[in-house]
């Protein structure tokens, strides 16, 4: 049973009318909750006891009933009775994407097919895609987690939320949809794409919340401006629910300046459920992981050793409340670090820092490790540059090489070729100062690089064709 903790009472408008003026000035019509569920501020000791209980129960089920995990655990000589404290989790072998691939499509299913009510499928860049299954209870819990996230961002009944994440095999659209529905917000399920229609809907429906990838949000802002709108004045957006790809503080600033005052980060992956694994609270100081459902760890990707709070490494999650497809110590490849300090928002669930990238995204260029996010960091800070860029990977003899194409803002475009040469040099030298690597930069015209309606494709790999 969910208990609401009330911080504010809003007037209950009994004379409900559905004309346009009401949509425009739509005010919250019900009480607003600071916490969606009391469990968000459970005492840390109780949280850890709960995690241990749920971990042992999950392990017991997998050990006894799941042929694949049962065998893996026996091979590693780990029995459920070996897990007596949370740190014992380190004894459990990791699960990787390869385990999911070997078991494609539903070899890891932990319940009879008659209990499954849904599959989602995430597209793999190589090999088979991965299939994730949900029981009714899994969908129910997933909905609650997304409701917690949205509520934490201040979304409430009375809000109009336009969900421009893809609906379908991708978990983004439906996951956020369930959360919004739980909260009782009014949903415009626009799905991804059809940018002109998105803008018209946002404007005509006076959407107060937009959920989509941050790169698509930037594109929507740009496209709205091109249509002669001032998105900050002509749209009614208050909250952004942005995730599914890495983004940075400078993108947040751009989104605040161009689109909506409160852009929040939301994280998740299909293998665990989809969106709703973690999200930012209003303090925006990391993303709270819902630790009554997932045990987060950060490991050294090379050695597998568990790292301490504040140490950067690969995020690993164990699901402790899933029925259809529980996962033990799943290696996400996402780079982040854990913060277990209490948060001033009152939530006791640990936080992860914003995802820096994936460790399999890391490029090795002339001996230097490069994360695409480091290049983005430089480009976003230069006010002459637009939001769109591409990192082009090529081969130079036996070695990998990279080049950056970036759009110049219309206001910075100059007829004098010399200005552009100077700007190119400036960008190259800024990249050098961060990476210690000479990278060739191509400045291109505004609007010339492809836009994405979902996850942005920033790295173009031409290594096979060069």
- The residue ranges that bind ligand DLL (CB under 6 A) are 122, 165, 170-172, 243-246, 265-270, 274-275, 332, 334, 355, 358
Distance of CA 181 to the CA centre of its chain: 20
Residue partners of 55: CB distance under 8 A and separation at least 6: 83, 86, 89, 295, 318, 320
Name the DSSP class of 103: T
Shortest reach from residue 463's CB to ligand DLL, in Å: 21
Query: In whole angstroms, how close is the CB of 249 to ligand DLL at the nearest point?
Result: 13
Least Å distance, CB 55 to ligand DLL, is: 22
392 class by beta-carbon count within 10 Å (0-12 exposed, 13-18 middle, 19+ buried): middle
Q: Which is nearer to ligand DLL, 35 or 170 (CB)?
A: 170
Residue 210 Cβ, how far from ligand DLL at the closest point, in Å? 12
- Comparing every residue's Cβ against ligand DLL, the nearest one is 243
Comparison of 55 and 279: residue with beta carbon closer to ligand DLL: 279
Q: Closest approach of Cβ 127 to ligand DLL, in Å?
A: 15
Identify the helix (H) or strand (E) that includes residue 267. Answer: strand 262-269
Smaller CB distance to ligand DLL: residue 164 or 408? 164
Of 92 and 100, nearer to ligand DLL (C-beta) is: 100
Q: How far apart are CA 20 and CA 331, in angstroms?
A: 48
Q: How far is CA 156 from CA 28, 56, 185, 290, in A?
A: 7, 36, 6, 20
- Whether residue 353 contacts residue 339, with contact meaning beta carbons closer than 8 Å, is answered with yes
Q: Specify the residue, 195 or 215, whose C-beta has the smaller distance to ligand DLL.
A: 215
Of 130 and 195, CB closest to ligand DLL? 130
Whichever of 269 and 370 has its CB closer to ligand DLL, that residue is 269
In whole angstroms, what separates CA 65 from the centre of its chain? 32
Buried b (16+ CB within 10 A) or exposed e, 115-127: bbeeebbbeeeee
Q: Are 343 and 281 in contact (CB under 8 A)?
A: yes
| Least separation in angstroms between CB 266 and ligand DLL | 5
Q: What is the closest distance, in whole angstroms, from the C-beta atom of residue 380 to ligand DLL in the complex?
A: 15
């Amino acid at each position: 049973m969910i208990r609401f903790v009330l911080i504010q009472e809003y007037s209950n408008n009994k004379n409900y009318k559905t004309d346009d003026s009401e949509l425009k000035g739509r005010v919250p019509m019900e009480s607003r909750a600071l916490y969606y569920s009391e469990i968000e501020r459970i005492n840390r000791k109780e949280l850890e006891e709960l995690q241990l209980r749920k971990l042992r129960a999950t392990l017991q089920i997998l050990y006894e009933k799941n042929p694949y995990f049962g065998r893996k655990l026996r091979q590693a000589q780990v029995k459920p009775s070996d897990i007596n404290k949370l740190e014992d989790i380190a004894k459990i072998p990791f699960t990787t994407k390869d385990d999911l691939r070997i078991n494609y499509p539903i070899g890891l299913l932990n319940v009879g097919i008659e209990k499954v009510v849904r599959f989602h499928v995430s597209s793999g860049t190589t090999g088979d895609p991965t299939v994730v299954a949900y029981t009714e209870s899994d969908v129910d819990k997933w909905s609650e987690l997304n409701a917690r996230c949205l509520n934490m961002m201040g979304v409430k009944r009375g809000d109009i939320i336009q969900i421009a994440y893809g609906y379908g095999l991708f978990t983004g659209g439906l996951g956020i949809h369930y959360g919004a529905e739980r909260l009782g917000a009014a949903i415009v399920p626009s799905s991804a794409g059809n940018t002109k229609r998105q803008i018209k809907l946002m404007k005509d429906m006076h959407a107060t919340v937009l959920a989509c990838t941050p790169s698509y949000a930037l594109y929507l802002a740009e496209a709205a401006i091109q249509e002669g709108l001032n998105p900050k004045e002509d749209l009614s957006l208050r909250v952004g629910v942005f995730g599914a790809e890495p983004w940075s503080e400078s993108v947040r600033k751009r989104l605040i300046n161009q689109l909506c005052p409160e852009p929040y980060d939301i994280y998740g992956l299909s293998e665990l459920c989809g969106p709703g694994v973690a999200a930012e609270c209003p303090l925006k100081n990391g993303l709270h992981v819902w630790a009554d459902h997932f045990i987060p760890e950060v490991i050294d990707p090379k050695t597998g050793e568990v790292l301490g709070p504040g140490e950067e490494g690969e995020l690993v999650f164990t699901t402790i409340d899933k029925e259809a497809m529980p996962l033990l110590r799943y290696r996400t490849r996402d780079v982040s670090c854990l913060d277990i300090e209490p948060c001033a928002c009152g939530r006791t669930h640990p936080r992860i820092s914003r995802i820096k990238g994936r460790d399999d995204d890391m490029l090795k260029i002339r001996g230097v490790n490069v994360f695409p996010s480091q290049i983005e960091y430089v480009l976003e800070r230069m006010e002459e540059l637009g939001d769109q860029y591409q990192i082009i990977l090529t081969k130079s003899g036996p070695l990998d090489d990279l080049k950056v194409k970036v759009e110049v803002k219309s206001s910075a475009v100059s007829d004098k070729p010399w200005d552009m040469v100077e700007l190119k040099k400036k960008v190259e030298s800024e990249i050098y100062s961060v990476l210690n690597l000479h990278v060739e930069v191509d400045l291109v015209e505004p609007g010339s690089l492809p836009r994405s309606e979902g996850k942005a494709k920033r790295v173009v790999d031409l290594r096979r064709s060069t």
